[in-house]
Amino acid sequence: MTDNPHDTDSHGAAASSRRGFLRILSGLGAASAMLPGLARAAAGARAAGARYMGDFAAPKLDKVKVAFIGVGARGSGHCSQLAVIEGVEVVAVCDLVADRAARSGDAAKQHGHAPKLYSGDDHAWRRMLSEVKPDAVIIATPWELHAPMCIEAMTAGAHAFSEVPIATTLEDLWKIIDTSEATGRHCMMMENVNYGREELLYLNLVRQGVLGELLHGEAAYIHELRGQMEGGDTTGSWRTFQYAKRNGNLYPTHGLGPVAQYMSLGRTTDSFGRLVSFSSPAKGRNLYAQKSTRLTNPEFKQLDYKGGDINTSIIKTVHGRTIMVQWDETSPRPYTRHNLIQGTKGTLAGFPNRMAIEGITQATHEWAEGEAWEKIARQYEHPLIKRMGELSQKMGGHGGMDFLMLFRIIECLRSGQPLDQNIYESCFWSAVGPLSEASVAQDGMPQAFPDFTRGQWPSTKPLGIIP
């Protein structure tokens, strides 16, 4: 069993990552002292000299020097794809496992790069930051390492790009925001699903006004992944401990990211208000662990898996719109992200793709699917797919969405454009994790989203249609 391609990479075994995390936290003191207000767990006034990053555009970079922390399944794919993008120089690769670092280094060398390799201990990535001074750092490590690595990368002068979620606690989300605002460096969660063909198509349809006023969305990450508990030193080796101790929606962003951008949440028109959340009983992981004879870690059989098999959360926005968000990586059922957006003139949905739109589809009491859907899709195809879709599919990565995301990151850095996803969106989407845990623990009590923008979301432009 290999890593799930949608998930973040291993950066060593679970026990090693937990030990490393403790050392990272102890080492953040010096970085924190440099940035006023870094340790705040809740919103206060923006620190003196800090800036709002909603529409932030960094100075143009003719060549983007990129370094990597974590090159398992996800990180190695990012390295291979960035190595072929014009304007990129792969300057360093870091992983706890030397062989993994060497493999990604060799892949980059095939395209004319000469990366320095770092491995062997929990602090190798810190040496990398100080020695090669990259412009951008790609972080594909276990979840609890994302926040401290983003913070130190920005403090070292680099733009930080993290796998999902960008952090698992509200305190860490605030630390990331404070660091980005203080350093003037981008910090983006690499939500690849926002670059899928269907998601970009639906964004274009929404921006063209064909759905009228948006009312409701549905998003999910439902993917049966119990087999990762048998996958060796891969995603399941460290994620399994998260499933055991946390009860909520631990992985919300693949479904939520596109819906949030359709609605422009945290940008101009609306933002996240509050959330209620419920989890089902926890059965599937316990049963699987007891039956399996191939568990990666014998400890998995002794764990009490407290996370419900399926979590359902409802978000109400500041202006009263609703979003259902579901997560289930345990149940034996087909993969889906739902991807539904409903407005006053119609509805778009995924898994399977279908739509019903007044004046466009033949009827609104039945779905346009198959060739009828495709005919409308060709008419409203997103310009970025027209420009880059064929190449991105050849490059691969979830049907091309991975390559398209990485291409856009580099295009924005080289041209001095704002990124397609800003730091506040990354934090709003990731905040569903800890907020859902709190709501579940309180039997569904509403949880208010922090306003990570400190009241400035109405000034942030909606994501436009990228040409």
Domain shared by 85 and 111, yes or no: yes
Q: Given the DSSP bridges, would you call strands 322-328 and 311-317 parallel, antiparallel or unpaired?
A: antiparallel
In a domain, 2, yes or no: no
Q: Where are the alpha helices (DSSP H) in 293-422?
A: 370-379, 383-395, 401-415
Instruction: Give the CATH number of the domain where residue 365 resides.
Output: 3.30.360.10
Last residue of a domain, one of 190, 206, 227: 190
Is the same domain home to 255 and 148?
Answer: no
124 lies in the same domain as 219 = no
Q: Give 233's DSSP letter.
A: S
Same domain, 184 and 85: yes
Residue 245 belongs to a domain = yes
Domain identity same for 163 and 310: no
Beta-sheet strands, E only, within 52-118: 64-69, 88-94, 116-118
CA distance 441 to 99: 42
Half-sphere exposure of 24 toward its Cβ, with a 13 Å CA cutoff? 23
Position 413 in a domain: no
One digit per residue, the tens of pLDDT, for the chain of length 467 reads 333 333 444 444 333 443 343 344 444 444 444 343 333 345 689 999 999 999 999 999 999 999 999 999 899 999 999 999 999 999 999 999 999 999 999 999 999 999 999 999 999 999 999 999 999 999 999 999 999 999 999 999 999 999 999 999 999 999 999 999 999 999 999 999 999 999 999 999 999 999 999 999 999 999 999 999 999 988 999 999 999 999 999 999 999 999 999 999 999 999 999 999 999 999 999 999 999 999 999 999 999 999 999 999 999 999 999 999 999 999 999 999 999 999 999 999 999 999 999 999 987 789 999 999 999 999 999 999 999 999 998 898 889 999 999 999 999 999 999 999 999 999 999 999 999 999 999 999 999 999 999 999 999 999 999 99
Q: Are residues 383 and 268 in the same domain?
A: yes
Count of CB atoms within 10 A of residue 382's CB? 24
Alpha carbon distance 62, 39 (integer Å)? 35
Residues 6+ apart with CB under 8 A from 239: 7, 142, 143, 228
C-alpha–C-alpha distance, residues 273 and 41, integer Å = 19
Contact (CB, 8 A) for 195 and 300:
no
* Closest by CA position to 148, among listed 121, 126, 132: 126
Domain edge (last residue) among 139, 174, 190: 190
Question: Is residue 236, in this structure, part of any structural domain at all?
Answer: yes
Count other Cβ atoms within 10 Å, centred on residue 459. 12
Q: Both 26 and 143 in a single domain?
A: yes
175 and 207 assigned to the same domain: no
Indicate whether 179 and 202 sit together in one domain. Answer: no
Q: Is residue 340 located within the same domain as residue 455?
A: yes
In a domain, 374, yes or no: yes
Q: Is residue 408 part of a domain?
A: no
In terms of domains, do 269 and 298 share one?
A: yes
Range of the domain at 76: 14-38+59-190
Q: Is the distance from CB of 170 to CB of 186 less than 8 angstroms?
A: no
Question: Is 313 domain-assigned?
Answer: yes
The 3-state DSSP composition of the chain as helix, strand, coil percent (nearest 5) reads 40, 15, 40
If one counts the domains in the chain, the total is 2
Q: Which of 138, 168, 190 is where one domain is finished?
A: 190
| 222 and 366 within one domain | yes
